[in-house]
Amino acid sequence: MSFQSDQPLVAAQACWVVSPGQAEIRHETLPPLAQGDVRVRTLHTAVSRGTEGLVFRGEVPPSEWQRMRAPFQAGDFPGPVKYGYVNVGVVEAGPADLLGRTVFCLYPHQTRYQVNADAVVTLPEGVPAARAVLAAQMETALNALWDAAPGLGDRIAVVGGGTVGLLVAWLAARLPGCEVQVIDTEPSRAALAQALGASFSLPGDARTGVEWLFHTSGQAAGLATALRLAAFEATVLELSWYGSRAVSVPLGEAFHSQRLTLKSSQVGHVAPAQRGRWSHRRRLALALSLLTDPVLDRLITDSAPFNQLPEVLARLAGPTAPQTLCHRIDFPD
């Protein structure tokens, strides 16, 4: 690639997990902009509580160090590592047709960055930058619906009322005739589930005989609940990722007599039925286009300035933030 050597160097700051349980803001200098690249000034990022919590705590198992790499990750597990994949910003240098456009990129938490123009997706009309931080979770939820492919009128349960689970419920509730229930141990999720078009239940009160169950709680007890509620020959789709933690799965009791299917879903690959027609970029563009509904703003429960991100990561990785769904990080002008 060629670039203009007389371009001024650009300063940036990025958040790094330097060791398990410790993050810090580091200074970087961007090289001259290469032909075909864009420089983006970040407006917002978001913390993926599940995955970034595992990264922060150093719980990514060595067997997954390569498969778990984020698209623009720097460094290696367990650290120091610059990790993240939810970034919304404004193009301030690069091809003329992108200058000034607000874009989404699977880039870590950094004030300014440079990538090939093909790596950014412009925000659709009607999707504000502050809401676009839900795009990665929406893409995960979209892929999960593709993996399951429930039919019209099916009964659907989502066990785990976190950000991804609630987005799954929001998408599923738009399928004609489907009954969608969110199941969570936190009663405060009820009003939000109902606003998204689903009903709500605590685990002990949830209906049984469900054809499609999505498990997103990240807890073994949640997976056991999903299996317990399943109808004959139902499918439980597992979206939780446990890192290095061992999980006890109750495959006795009625698992075999009910002929249940336990299936994994992971956003790193497009669902098999769509893989021949859909690229990752097209799927991400669809996820962004689904974010026009203002009700989804209710999933962004917390925000903090970029300079507080190390403290935010520490708090979200611990047990003291049960009410937090999507935590947005706001960057300085």
Within the chain, which residues score under 70 in pLDDT?
Answer: 1-6
Domain that holds residue 247: 137-273
The predicted structure's pLDDT at residue 3: 46
Same domain, 42 and 77: yes
Give the residue among 189, 229, 224, 237 at the shortest CA–CA distance from 206.
Answer: 229
Residue 171 belongs to what H/E stretch? helix 163-172
Query: Is 3 among the domain residues?
Result: no
The predicted structure's pLDDT at residue 6: 64
Same domain, 121 and 149: no
Strand order through the sheet with 74-75: 22-30, 10-19, 81-82, 74-75
Query: Is 226 among the domain residues?
Result: yes
Same domain, 142 and 238: yes
Q: Strand, helix or coil at 317? A: coil
Same domain, 18 and 118: yes
Same domain, 172 and 261: yes
Same domain, 19 and 122: yes
The predicted structure's pLDDT at residue 254: 85
| Cis peptide preceding 78, ω within 30 of 0 | yes
Query: Is 31 among the domain residues?
Result: yes
Same domain, 148 and 269: yes
Query: Is 286 among the domain residues?
Result: no
Please give the full DSSP string across 253-309, using - where no structure is assigned: TTTTTTT-EEEE--TTS--GGGTTT--HHHHHHHHHHTTT-GGGGGGEEEEEEGGGH
Structure tokens at 316: 């979200």
Rounded to the nearest 10 degrees, how much is the dihedral formed by the CA atoms of 32, 38, 39, 43? -170
Same domain, 122 and 152: no
Same domain, 103 and 165: no
Q: Which of 273, 303, 322 is the last residue of a domain?
A: 273
Query: Is 182 among the domain residues?
Result: yes
Query: Is 285 among the domain residues?
Result: no
Give the residue among 79, 44, 42 at the shortest CA–CA distance from 59.
Answer: 79
Q: How many domains does the chain have?
A: 2
CATH of the domain at 109: 3.90.180.10
Same domain, 148 and 120: no
Query: Is 282 among the domain residues?
Result: no
Contact 1, 36 (CB under 8 A): yes
Same domain, 36 and 99: yes
Same domain, 67 and 126: yes
The predicted structure's pLDDT at residue 287: 98
